[in-house]
Amino acid sequence: MIFKLEEEHIAVKEAAREFALSRLKEGVIERDTSMSYPTEFVKEMGEMGFLSMMTDSAYGGSGMDTLSYVLAMEEISKIDASCSVIMSVNNSLVLWGLEEYGSEEQKQKYIPRLTTGNEIGCFCLSEPEAGSDATSQRTTAIDMGDHYLLNGVKNWITNGGKATIQLVVAHTDKEKGHKGINVFIVERDWEGVTIGPKEDKMGIRSSDTHSISYSDVKVPKENRIGADGFGFKFAMKTLEGGRIGIAAQALGIAAGAYELAVSYANQREAFGISIGNHQAIAFKLADMALDIEAARMIVYRAAYLKDSGLDYGYASAMAKLIASEAAMKHTVEAVQIHGGNGYVKEYHVERLMRDAKITQIYEGTSEIQRIIISRNVLTGKLELPY
């Protein structure tokens, strides 16, 4: 693995950082407080190619690699994790799945609509009784001949209120277990689709999270993705890539808190010297630097494996686990370093701490990541593919 970024990767990283600092930073506290959806910035991210980074240019995407996507996610997450999760879902869970497994007709019809920022997509897997256990889906899609009849409820859906195109996971034959699950492309304006109230969350508050209910929604047969029974595999493979995006988000949150902590430690004085010169604070910063750099290498490696066409499922689980744990641990430390100032909004670190927590939960909890990793350990599949 090469540890020096190519020029094109550096250009992506710098463009994302400039956008985050010049456009997202001002107003980020107010958006968080009021739970205001960043409509203007989503459109700008589309125009800059950030909403379709790994999508083929033939469908209107940016045609970049996974590492470019990770670098952009990291920089944007340092400033506004709400914007980065909107970006992550559209890139990793919606466009990647459509391009990888959709029919050519589906790709031509739906992908170009999701690349510009005018429209956005969502991935509807979680349910009130089915989160980590995806086989316990209660949403059903009954084969009616020329269409499916979709009924059920999805919750915790990021982009749920704004998304015009939804990828919905549903059981078509419960007796077949995971082999009786399919994924369907559903449009928000179809009859029977109802968007629930916006969730009032602890973190990533300006992102759009809703429940969505389906009541006798007619889904055309041509809107099923893949062969009959392919839905469970679609969901699991899509989440593998999605975890790289959330790992990059967690990495960015941790790195953003670290940068703020270093700056504050150099400026704030106690007992006649900057607090960074007190060993108690200096060692905290050293631990932050160590854990964040370790997480960064594992996240970048997962992206490298994906770009190289190698197995990356366990690597994405490792990346998400280490980055999310570092984000939670070190945003708390950043607040501690800021002292009383860390407890108020204007210093940003309390928001980063709140944002960090969800990275340990969505797209597979930390416990689920440990299950994935341990299974690879016990079956001898954890050998490094170099």
The predicted structure's pLDDT at residue 107: 98
> Which residue bears the tokens 């699991």?
236
Reply yes or no on whether the pLDDT at 218 is more than 60: yes
The set of long-range contacts for 42-45, using a CB threshold of 8 Å and a minimum separation of 24, is 42/83, 42/86, 42/117, 42/120, 42/162, 43/116, 43/117, 43/118, 44/19, 44/117, 45/19, 45/83, 45/86, 45/87, 45/117
- CA 180 to CA 173: how far, in whole Å? 5
Active site residues: 363
The predicted structure's pLDDT at residue 36: 97
The predicted structure's pLDDT at residue 147: 97
Please write the tens of the pLDDT for every residue from 66-90.
999 999 999 999 999 999 999 999 9
Please write the tens of the pLDDT for every residue from 266-287.
999 999 999 999 999 999 999 9
Please write the tens of the pLDDT for every residue from 103-113.
999 999 999 99
User: Per-residue pLDDT averaged across 140-148, rounded?
Assistant: 96
User: Per-residue pLDDT averaged across 48-69, rounded?
Assistant: 97
Look up residue 81 and give its two tokens: 């994790």
The predicted structure's pLDDT at residue 386: 53
Q: What rounded mean pLDDT belongs to the chain?
A: 96
CA angle 220, 229, 149 (to 5 degrees): 30
Q: Which residues pair with 226 in a beta bridge?
A: none
CB atoms within 10 A of CB 301: 17
User: Per-residue pLDDT averaged across 107-134, rounded?
Assistant: 93
The set of long-range contacts for 144-148, using a CB threshold of 8 Å and a minimum separation of 24, is 144/218, 146/220, 146/221, 147/218, 147/219, 147/220, 147/221, 148/172, 148/184, 148/218, 148/219, 148/221, 148/224
The percentage of the chain sitting over the pLDDT mark of 70, rounded to a whole number, equals 98
The predicted structure's pLDDT at residue 382: 66
Reply yes or no on whether the pLDDT at 2 is more than 90: no
User: Which band of pLDDT confidence, cut at 50, 70 and 90, is reported for residue 301?
Assistant: very high
The predicted structure's pLDDT at residue 381: 72
User: Which band of pLDDT confidence, cut at 50, 70 and 90, is reported for residue 29?
Assistant: very high
Helix 39-47 with 81-88: angle, nearest 10 deg: 50
Distances in whole angstroms, Cα of residue 80 to Cα of each of 166, 339, 351: 24, 22, 9
User: Which band of pLDDT confidence, cut at 50, 70 and 90, is reported for residue 1?
Assistant: low
Helix 231-267 with 81-88: angle, nearest 10 deg: 160
The percentage of the chain sitting over the pLDDT mark of 90, rounded to a whole number, equals 94
CB atoms within 10 A of CB 35: 17
Q: List Cβ neighbours of 135 (8 Å cut-off, separation of 6 or more).
A: 177, 178, 181, 232
Among residues 328, 325, 321, the alpha carbon closest in space to that of 353 is found at 328
The predicted structure's pLDDT at residue 132: 73
- CA 356 to CA 337: how far, in whole Å? 17
Please write the tens of the pLDDT for every residue from 307-365.
999 999 999 999 999 999 999 999 999 999 999 999 999 999 999 999 999 999 999 99
User: Per-residue pLDDT averaged across 132-149, rounded?
Assistant: 91
The predicted structure's pLDDT at residue 384: 57
